[in-house]
Amino acid sequence: MDISRIIRDFQCVPARLRRMFFSFAVAHVSGVVLLTIFFLLISAGVNRNLTFAQTKAVNFCISCHQETWNDAKTSAHFQHGVYCQHCHGGDASQPDQKLAKAAGTGYLGIPDKKQIVSICGDCHNNIEQMNFYGIRTDQLALYKTSMHGKKLFKDGDTHVAVCSDCHGYHEIGSVRDSNSPIYPLNIPKTCNKCHGNKTLMDSYGLPSDTFELYKNSVHGKALFGKKDISVAQCVSCHGDHGAVPPGVKSIGVVCGKCHVNEQKYFMESVHADLAGEKKFSGCVSCHGNHGVQHITSNYYKEACVKCHNKTSDAVKEGKKIFQLLTGSEARVATAENLVKQAGIKGVFVQDEVALLNEARTSMIEMGPLQHALSVEKISELYKKVSELTAEGYC
């Protein structure tokens, strides 16, 4: 007799009934009655004609496949009554293996990749069913627009990712579950199972070092080092179900989701209108994509000449901005030094510290602002920094 299963089946009785049962038990019942109920429960496991046994919870797939159940009983599905037969088909009320999987029961065996997409997709795009759980229902629709989905449906290519490649299948967890493969910290590794496979990626002419580049980028270091899950990982830039590389037109939008000010000022720059023309890929032209690094104003010395002639007006503009940026940095550094020394000498420097902080703020504002590539705008802040650092330090 499998007591654990009986208890488990019992747990599947709606909570309300369970509560009724327990208040009944606690309020009225002596040990004898409890014992009787206990035996009733045990016999329910044997004689499946009793009311309790008629609940959907009696599931002979589970009886035979205890291991699968035990490994995954805490998964989002098994917790919510999505059982074996919902994905594999078959008749779960049949204790006999042959009958449980007979023709006409819809038994699929182990589903292939296309079947997986429709099994998962068709239940998850059912708005009536899913509304109850408050989760989105657009996964299948988006998946079909992704490179993965297109390849699977158009070319029958089974090397691409389907639902279970990213989510697993029996031990599926929520995005909030830090063990699930779709938890932000785990996503890069999930994608890397295939995107780091050199033989596979070579056959598509795609790079296989994306993960390595990412891991060493500012984003990757913040994700893995500081466990900062607000930072960009594969899915923040590519979308989850609609995994496609952001096109020339949408890169700014992708980065701009998080870097709002840089995006705003970039849109004011001379390069913004070039987005549709493939001559300029927005943020990526200067920062790269997977390997984004922390850069400084020194970058002006190399960036502009990558695309513009050394003697061009564009490069001259770049030089002016560079000078204003480094000029401000130098002024703030000098002022910091003076304040520090005065402090050591015992001079009262409270006012100077306040001015210095204001100067620092203006200098920080230059970071996003310089993306407008406007000498005029940067000059305004430069003037402010000069004024704030010129007074009262001698």
Q: Which of residues 56-115 bind ligand HEC (CB under 6 A)?
A: 60-62, 64-65, 68-69, 76-77, 80, 82-88, 90-92, 95, 97, 100, 109-111
Please spell the DSSP secondary structure of 113-179, one letter per residue: HHHHHHHHHHHHT-HHHHHTTT----HHHHHHHSHHHHHHHHH--TTS--HHHHH-SSS---TT-TT
Using rule CB under 6 A, residue 242 touches ligand HEC: no
Asked if residues 193 and 161 have their Cβ atoms less than 8 Å apart, the reply is: no
Q: Give the residue among 1, 96, 97 at the shortest CA–CA distance from 44.
A: 1
To the nearest whole angstrom, how small is the minimum distance from the Cβ of residue 362 to ligand HEC?
A: 12
Structure tokens that stand for 25 in this block: 């038990």
> Which range binds ligand HEC by CB under 6 A, 256-264, 332-340, 341-349, 353-361?
256-264
Asked if residues 194 and 151 have their Cβ atoms less than 8 Å apart, the reply is: no
Distance between CA 276 and CA 201 in Å, rounded? 28
Return the SS3 of 361.
Answer: helix
Using rule CB under 6 A, residue 377 touches ligand HEC: no
To the nearest whole angstrom, how small is the minimum distance from the Cβ of residue 2 to ligand HEC?
A: 13
Asked if residues 116 and 162 have their Cβ atoms less than 8 Å apart, the reply is: yes
Q: Which of residues 351-370 bind ligand HEC (CB under 6 A)?
A: 367-368, 370
Q: Tell me, by CB under 6 A, how many residues bind ligand HEC.
A: 139
Structure tokens that stand for 208 in this block: 């296989």
Choose which of 58, 275, 286, 338 interacts with ligand HEC (CB under 6 A).
Answer: 286
Q: Which residue's CB is nearer to ligand HEC, number 111 or number 352?
A: 111
Q: Which of residues 20-49 bind ligand HEC (CB under 6 A)?
A: none
Distance between CA 288 and CA 274 in Å, rounded? 17
> Which range binds ligand HEC by CB under 6 A, 12-20, 230-238, 339-347, 354-362?
230-238
Distance between CA 58 and CA 92 in Å, rounded? 8
To the nearest whole angstrom, how small is the minimum distance from the Cβ of residue 250 to ligand HEC?
A: 8
Which residues, including other chains, have CB under 8 Å from residue 183's CB and lie 6 or more apart? 173, 175, 176, 177
Q: Which residue's CB is nearer to ligand HEC, number 117 or number 332?
A: 117
Place of tokens 């000029």: 327
To the nearest whole angstrom, how small is the minimum distance from the Cβ of residue 214 to ligand HEC?
A: 4
> Which range binds ligand HEC by CB under 6 A, 1-9, 20-28, 237-245, 354-362?
237-245
Q: Which of residues 105-164 bind ligand HEC (CB under 6 A)?
A: 109-111, 116-117, 119-121, 123-124, 133, 135-136, 139-140, 143, 147-148, 151, 159-164
DSSP-assigned letter for residue 288? -
Choose which of 44, 58, 172, 372 interacts with ligand HEC (CB under 6 A).
Answer: 172
Q: Which residue is nearest to ligand HEC (CB)?
A: 367
Distance between CA 79 and CA 83 in Å, rounded? 9
Q: Say which amino acid occupies 389.
A: T
Q: Which of residues 290-349 bind ligand HEC (CB under 6 A)?
A: 290, 292, 294-297, 299-300, 303-304, 306-308, 312-314, 317-318, 325
Q: Which residue's CB is nearer to ligand HEC, number 208 or number 342?
A: 208
Q: Say which amino acid occupies 381.
A: L
Distance between CA 151 and CA 130 in Å, rounded? 27
Using rule CB under 6 A, residue 224 touches ligand HEC: no
Q: Which of residues 173-192 bind ligand HEC (CB under 6 A)?
A: 174-175, 182, 187-188, 190-192
Asked if residues 339 and 353 have their Cβ atoms less than 8 Å apart, the reply is: yes
